[in-house]
A and B are shown apart, each in its own frame.
Chain A
Amino acid sequence: MNDKDPKTDAELDALLAALPNDERDELLEEHRQLEKDLLRLADPLPPADFVHQVMQKVAAAPAPAMSPRDVAMAVVITVATFGAGVVMFLSHGAGFEGVGLTFADTFVRARELFIGVGSALETVWRTAAVPVALGLAAMLGSSVLALKKLGKVAA
């Protein structure tokens, strides 16, 4: 049976079905006898002070971690509070229309900021492409190495 050990129950069925009747009966009978002996074994008792030692460790351990539901709830409450604060701050004395104007103004300013940053990057690239490329490659390489090292430590 070593050559083709069954991996699944279906393969085992097929393997046993393929055996000659006598051989199969003999094999199963030997397994039955073995099972009778196995069923008489029992788990050992742990040391007498096992529970005491566990509870000592539990007492010394930090408080149990929050459940994902509790964490999600905390995040929602924090975000909602922050959002409410921002809205109240922006709309202070300006009514609801003021909030819309502020948001629109933010988008315009953000667009200007992106264009400015893009222009700066383009200038740097035109004047010193090689040092910038080398710097980026070095940063990328060191990040990959650091991540690999972290992965090994975690494993």
Chain B
Amino acid sequence: MNTALELSLPDPLSLSMMAVEEGVPYLQEVRRARRGDSDAFAQLVRSIQRPVYGICLRLLRSDAEASEVAQEAFLRAYQNLNRYDESRPFDLWVMAIARNLCLDLLRRRSRMSTEDVSEHANVLPSGEASLEQTAIDKQEKKSLEEAMGTLSADDREVLALYYVQRRTTKEIAEVMNVAPGTIMARLFRAREKLRKVMQAKP
């Protein structure tokens, strides 16, 4: 049954866009930053700002809050750089910090977001627009983003980490702090909810 579960997905391109040094990504930059090299830390921020900001935006659905929380996550990472465990990928560590900050903020929110989801579909552009727009109709993508916006934060997060950021189930488990043996089930549940939302759309 595992082949059925994996569906037609290729192996996730884990850390494909990351610079890998000494087997662990960003280790040299982290060590330089620890010694007080701010350029090295700026380089780290530049390298992983997109996935960190991306996950914040998926969770919070507000670009201003996502930017603020992502900045705070980087600041906390900097302040705790000496506590960073070098055996873990640096980007996953920062993402876990960002995720916790987002969840704290979501918990503090006294009301559900009343923002127009369709507005957010416009602030979630594709990576390589020219290539993507030929492959998929813009309207379909907007519709999918709208449908994702109706899901819970957990569902949005697991879908974004797996399909958008192409993380492995092990990496997702590390970021979400859950057992790796639950990720495929979480993905399935999220996809199933998304499928039903899409089916219900006119």
Contacts and interface: CB of A to CB of B under 8 A. Distances in A.
Interface of A: 1, 5-13, 16-17, 24, 28, 30-32, 34-47, 50-51, 53-55, 57-59, 61-62, 64-68, 70
A16 B1 contact: yes
Interface residues of B toward A: which range?
Answer: 35 or more
Most buried by B among A8, A9, A10, A37: A9
B50 A43 contact: yes
- Interface SS of chain A: helix, strand, loop or mixed? helix
A44 B123 contact: yes
25 contacts: A8-B185, A9-B182, A9-B185, A12-B185, A16-B5, A17-B1, A28-B7, A32-B7, A35-B8, A35-B191, A37-B140, A37-B144, A41-B144, A42-B126, A43-B57, A43-B164, A43-B165, A46-B50, A57-B71, A57-B74, A57-B75, A58-B75, A64-B34, A64-B80, A67-B83
Contacts, number: 159
Contacts of B28: none
A34 B198 contact: yes
Indicate the member of B160, B188, B191 with the most A CB atoms within 10 Å: B188
Interface in B56-106: 57, 63, 67, 70-71, 74-75, 78-83
B191 A61 contact: no
Interface of B: 1-2, 4-5, 7-9, 34, 38, 41-42, 45-46, 49-51, 53-55, 57, 63, 67, 70-71, 74-75, 78-83, 123-128, 132, 135-136, 140-141, 144-145, 159-160, 163-165, 179, 181-185, 188-189, 191-192, 194-195, 198
